[in-house]
Amino acid sequence: MKLNTPNKLTIARMIISPLFLAVILWDSLPHRFLLALVIFSVASITDAIDGKLARKYNQITNFGKLLDPIADKVLTTAALLAFMKLGLCNIWIVMIVLTREFAIASIRMIAASNGVVIPANIWGKLKTVSQMVFTVLIMFLCEVYYILEHSFAEVFSKMPSLSIISNSLLWITAILTIISGVIYIKDSKNSIDYSK
């Protein structure tokens, strides 16, 4: 199968995700958070580019429709797992986000088998944007805290807990995740016959 450019970018995003996870968890790597931030940002940019290219050049494929949201989830899940490992994300946030993603993915598959496409709602888009923006912000703060800890210990000692800041931001994403999931399930009831 010959892949078009948008689909190649989608696959690249999936390949970049474990690289991002390896870098952010590499304890001995200097400025790992800054490097991870760059890698995550590049991967996020491919998400915007592949969609625009697919629409502009009429290269929208079923393969892309299926893989693009999966690639997004692989990337954002990698970030959540990294934050949980670093003590920056409550395990219940991860549970909420993953449960929602599995539930919505299942509904999409059922809808697709019935020839129905249920578009993402505004809350879902807000959830995705917030997750990506907060991920970048948290990594930026991690880098700032790293520099302060190693070069300005006195200032670092007066800084608020990074864990509290990170969890507060990610709980916003979790709340948006719940709202978008409930609305999506509600909308699906009007489009899908679950009795079949």
Q: pLDDT per residue over 148-184, tens digit each? A: 888 887 887 888 899 999 999 999 999 999 998 998 8
- State the pLDDT at residue 170: 96
The pLDDT score that the predictor gives to residue 185 is 86
Mean pLDDT of all residues belonging to the chain: 87
Homologous superfamily of domain range 5-189: CDP-alcohol phosphotransferase transmembrane (TM) domain (1.20.120.1760)
pLDDT at 120 over 90: no
Q: Rounded to whole angstroms, how far apart are CA atoms 1 and 156? A: 53
Q: Which of 65, 53, 33 lies closest to 142 in space, CA to CA?
A: 33
| HSE-up (13 A, CA, CB side) for residue 93 | 26
Q: How crowded is residue 54: how many other Cβ atoms within 10 Å of its Cβ?
A: 21
Predicted confidence at residue 164, as pLDDT, reads 95
Helix (H) or strand (E) holding 160: none
Q: What is the mean pLDDT of residues 131-150?
A: 92
* Under 8 Å between Cβ of 43 and 13: yes
Read off the pTM. Answer: 0.87
Structure tokens at 193: 């016959």
Residues 6+ apart with CB under 8 A from 160: none
The Cα–Cα gap between 192 and 196 comes to 9
Ranges 38-52, 82-96, 100-114, 176-190: which has the least confidence: 100-114
Q: What is the pLDDT of residue 119?
A: 66
What residues does each domain of the chain span? Answer: 5-189
Confidence of residue 72 (pLDDT cuts 50, 70, 90): confident
In this prediction, residue 195 has a pLDDT band, given cuts at 50, 70 and 90, of low
Q: What is the pLDDT of residue 97?
A: 93
Does position 1 have pLDDT exceeding 70, yes or no?
no
